[in-house]
Structure 1
């Protein structure tokens, strides 16, 4: 099959089908979804991140001093005060109240 002489092809250039434009809402939808996920994760993880930041930035002496500023006789007293669970580095934390040593004293009952 021969081509007609009037149709010339330039070597190296191909004709492509025109691209379909995506709807403008997909980018916005993705941006809003990522923002909501980031916000929810930050809200959920904020106490843990704050405790971790405190542990990393304070010296061990300053950390012990901060924890000793408040004293609870036991977890029942801490729960009654509305501060349980108490994370390592927060006022009122004691290793004696952290039974499993995971850095979280007065954990909720299971």
Structure 2
């Protein structure tokens, strides 16, 4: 019984490693939303950055 529970636990944990990772969505649909949240000049290193918000391609989305 204990062996069966242990095997089930190991398989469950191993299965988690095989699950596809979720794709992170950006927090803002556009720069108007970002500005309403007080965000401007969002750098490429920030998870909120997206290339569509960086019109001049200087590495910052939603320029102030």
Larger Rg: 1
> What pairs with 1:44-83 in structure 2 (closer than 5 Å)?
68=24, 70-83=26-39
- The one of the two structures with greater contact order (alpha-carbon pairs below 8 A, sep at least 6) is 2
Residues 69, 91 of structure 1: 8 Å contact kept: no
- 4+ residue runs of structure 1 moved beyond 6 angstroms? none
- TM-score, normalisation: structure 1: 0.34
Preserved CA contact (<8 Å) 2:26 2:50: no
Q: Which runs of 5+ in 1 are unaligned?
A: 1-67
* TM-score normalised by the chain length of structure 2: 0.56
How many residues matched?
A: 41
SS for the counterpart of 2:52 is: helix
Distance of 1:106 and 1:71 partners within structure 2:
13
Residue 47 of structure 2 is matched in structure 1 by 91
Cα RMSD for the two superposed structures:
1.4
Higher helix share: 1
Unaligned stretches of 5+ residues in structure 2 = 1-23
Rounded to whole Å, the distance in 2 between the matches of 1:81 and 1:100 is: 22
Cα distance between partner residues in 1 of 2:44 and 2:34: 14
